[in-house]
Structure 1
Amino acid sequence: MYASRSTLALVLALCLAPTVGLAQTGEWKQVWADEFDGDKLDLTRWTPAADCGGGGNDERQCYVADPDAISVQDGMLRLTAVKRKTRGLANPWAGPTGPMKTGDYASGKIVTQGKASWLYGRIEARARVPGGQGVWPAIWMMPELSTYGGWPKSGEIDILETVNLGAPCEAKGDICEGGRENRVFGTIHFAADAAGAHRQAGGSTAMPASPDGFHVYAVEWTPEAITWSVDGREYARAAQKDWKRDDADAGPAPFDRPFHLILNLAFGGRWPEGANAKGFDETALPATMEVDWVRVSQR
């Protein structure tokens, strides 16, 4: 007996429906990882950045792809910021050619763009971050393709950021305990309207105690929400309604496209230089962010 097209469509929809449900409610399964077990960066997974663009934030470092800034040893990735004259592209977003710039500092940044990206999942890293006025380590994600337009229209997911750890600040409960900066930040950036007005959502928490300074920083990213945690404790959550554009219907956009990973250690920039003791302190250098592992799981 031959079924009608409408009947076949209904059967197909019913068959697919449980699969969609399982994808959102099943257990996490690791789909990608780097344990940094070798003696050099795995270039099949990562591409080192090399530019003096300042991250679009007036950061003072130039990123370089040499062992002073990026190294893997003893089962650990190390991204290090040092004081060193460095020359590179002033505007890397315009392409591989263009005006050059010389900076006073060098540091490391690695990205998975073009090699690995994911739509939804649990993205986590075990890391130890440095402190000092002007020191800005980050583990974050950007869209593989700018489907909705340039930043911030296509979104940004910041898994971990700290700025000026240990620098003076006003104590409020467990925040800035002892009058010293101790916050961890998790944030998403997106557009408030079609014109691209910037908006953000997320939160911060006090850095938990740790005998060795390492913590596991993570986001869980689904169509409905993005949550941030440190050492398994959730501290911030953004739901669809929090990133809905003022002129658009509610929905998962722009966080409904694949994003790639970025690890970097910046020095200076508008945020750290405008906070805490203000400016930047060269005595914080050299500064190193150590990453034990990075893992991506999906349902």
Structure 2
Amino acid sequence: MKLTLMFTVGLLFNIYNLQSQITNNYIHIQKENKPKKDWKIIWQDDFNNAELDTTKWTKIPPNNADWGNYMTDDPLCYDFKDGKLYLKGIKNTDTIKDPRPYLTGGIYTKGKFAYQYGKIEIHAKLESAQGAWPAMWMLAETKKYGKYPKNGEIDLMEHLSFEDQVYQTTHSYYTLELKQKDNPPYYTTTKVDVSKYNTYGLEWSPDKLVYTINSKPTITYPKLDNVDKSQWPFDQPFYLLIDQQLGGSWVGEVNPDDLPVNMVVDWVKVYQ
């Protein structure tokens, strides 16, 4: 019986390896011809612990990007209860310790988990506030083509202030620098009751990105022939970011009276 179990486990492991490979112990690369029906969960977090699993995530540090002005590892911006992660945007009550007026929580898998091709789903609900900008998105782990935006950016979900819609967007040198935003269309908006839990996702294959909400496709961004090669940098591993941003040139000024504001993340699942 024991030998049979060991044989079965070994067989399943070998089947998975025929369809996917792992490099550097954390980058999962799916073979290009793997059928969807065979997808299995390769990585997930249900946030059932009372603290962040640092084998999977890192708190996003402050940075000079428009979205990263208020990122912090301050525990006040992170909470864990009822099997959910609360990423917070708050007023900073100690500007002697930190002069910034606001603080925001965010996590990413950079250096700990990245993948190429497959499916990702994030189950979460959003709170609204003027200047709130929660986002779920992906950036290239290995930077195959150089500096941003040459490696692209995949925005699974962005929400602005009190809007009743979310944005799903594909960015690259092709869209941002060459201004090729209609060939093919690079983003869509979808009406969503953000105060309820929704599942934001992406099905990623070698020739297209299919964005989803609650398992329903919303927009497909295909790889095109006979266009500038910068149109498709999505042939390399990407890591995941989830953050409750505040302020910025797109969302505008923050109303401190609306704070605190939360993005509540129930679970994250990645399939290959």
TM-score (norm 2): 0.80
Aligned-partner Cα distance in 2 for 1:133–1:220: 31
Contact residue 192 and residue 245 of structure 1 kept, 8 A: no
What are the within-5 Å matches in structure 2 for residues 134-213 of structure 1? 134-165=131-162, 181-192=163-174, 196-197=177-178, 201-208=186-193, 213=196
Q: Which runs of 5+ in 1 are unaligned?
A: 1-15, 88-100, 166-180, 274-278
Aligned-partner Cα distance in 1 for 2:121–2:71: 23
What's 2:262 paired with? 288
Aligned-partner Cα distance in 1 for 2:172–2:254: 28
What's 1:216 paired with? 199
Identical aligned residues as a percent: 31
What's 1:104 paired with? 101
Aligned-partner Cα distance in 1 for 2:263–2:111: 24
Divergent runs of 4+, >2 A = 19-22, 24-27, 195-200, 244-250
What are the within-5 Å matches in structure 2 for residues 30-49 of structure 1? 30-49=41-60
1:86–1:139 distance in 2 versus 1, CA, 3 Å: farther
Larger radius of gyration: 1
Contact residue 70 and residue 246 of structure 2 kept, 8 A: no
What's 1:177 paired with? none
1:215-263 CA distance string (max 9 Å, x none): 111111111111111112211111112xx7943397xx30000000101
What's 2:239 paired with? 260
What's 1:68 paired with? 76
RMSD between aligned residues:
2.7
1:125–1:249 distance in 2 versus 1, CA, 3 Å: closer
What's 1:235 paired with? 218
Q: Which runs of 5+ in 2 are unaligned?
A: 1-17, 20-29
What's 1:269 paired with? 248
1:246–1:22 distance in 2 versus 1, CA, 3 Å: closer
**Helix, strand or coil for the counterpart of 1:68?**
helix
TM-score (norm 1): 0.73
1:284–1:228 distance in 2 versus 1, CA, 3 Å: same
